[in-house]
Amino acid sequence: MTDSVVPILSVVVPVRNEERFIRPCLTSILADAPAGGIEVIVVDGMSDDKTASIVEEMARADRRIRLIPNPSRFVPRAMNLGIAAAIAPFIGRIDGHCIVVPGYFRGCLDRLHDGGYEYVGGILVQEGSTPMELAVAAAMTSRVGVGSARFRTVRTDTDELVDTLSFGVYRRDLFDRIGLFDEEFVRNQDDELSMRLIGAGFRILLAPSLRIRYFVRGSLRQLWRQYFQYGYWKWRVFAKHGRFASIRHLAPSTFLLCLIVTLVLAIFSSAGRIAFALVAGPYLLIVALESLRIRLTTSAGFVGTALALMTLHFSYGSGLLKAILDAAWQRIRGRAAAPPTEMSR
């Protein structure tokens, strides 16, 4: 790309400490450059590993790559910095722990040109290499694990309208009409933007034939922290918009609340113990059956998958309940509670 050429696509890559994945990530993005050209804007959240030096090395070899700093370290700020620096009429987002499957950007752009959509993306193919990563990947692809999150669980190649995506391509002028990413939202910033997009009458298209390889968290502790924050910030999205994008977001916290209430009742009465068994028993059976199905159809282990499924449910549910309690305490005290914060990964 020369200085006089405006590419058709600018891909923003928010990163922090991604030295393991950043080289294959950027290589896959450049290899999938559409006919109209591409630029890749890596927004580094002050990494303290070799991420920035790897990007700088690649940028010296390929002028389509740029590196800009993100002192705040948070993803929504990274996206806004990248969008402000971008020069193309279409904006893509890919995280540093992903690899683009060939044809992804071309497929997104074809649909944006022809279908009257504002945001198009594909499926996240969850991957891992260690036994626990394989279990987490399987759980995050399971409808028992993540509900009806179509960009993780859909099994067909039929395009469909959805309420949100991860790592798709936007029309650049969309941000002029509905605004940039809300920098309040350390997590769920893409969901919050999608709610504004749909609320303005625009459409989001999931194209399951388009794929991105996504490398999952390597431990249950990391998975818990990730999904606890997803649950916590889902309430913040609700507080802003007055609604949830989907009823599925309430399922883990509703189950967890029922489990806690019946457990307390079980301490005091036989009826409470029966109620607890009626809540916990079917849940454990569902988790066991799903873990067995996954074990029979994939290389993920039964125990690891069961633990990953329960981690998804309990972390997300407790995060949402914690946010509700914090909001109630805020009203009582008359001041805001500090939410949990973390950069991507």
Please tell me the distance from the alpha carbon of residue 220 to that of residue 229, in angstroms, as a whole number: 14
**Domain formed by 1-98, architecture:** Alpha-Beta Complex (3.90)
* Most trustworthy range by pLDDT among 124-128, 266-270, 296-300: 266-270
262 pLDDT above the threshold of 60: yes
* Six token digits for residue 17: 């400490």
CA distances from 128 to 44, 172, 182, 309 (A): 24, 33, 31, 16
Which DSSP category does 3 fall into?
Answer: T
Q: What is the pLDDT of residues 83-121, one digit of tens each?
A: 999 999 999 999 999 999 999 999 999 999 887 899 999
Non-local (6+) Cβ contacts of 156 within 8 A are: 208
Please, where in the chain does CATH 3.90.550.10 lie? 1-98
pTM above 0.85, yes or no: yes
Q: What is the pLDDT of residues 213-253, one digit of tens each?
A: 999 878 999 999 999 999 998 888 888 877 776 677 788 99
For β-strands 90-93 and 9-15, DSSP reports them as parallel
| Lowest mean pLDDT across 34-38, 190-194, 221-225, 242-246 | 242-246
Rounded to 5 degrees, φ, ψ at 175 are -70, -25
pLDDT of res. 187: 85
Q: Which long-range contacts (CB under 8 A, 24 or more apart) does 236-240 make?
A: 236/184, 236/185, 236/188, 236/323, 236/339, 237/185, 237/188, 237/191, 237/192, 237/195, 239/327, 240/182, 240/192
Mean pLDDT of the chain: 90
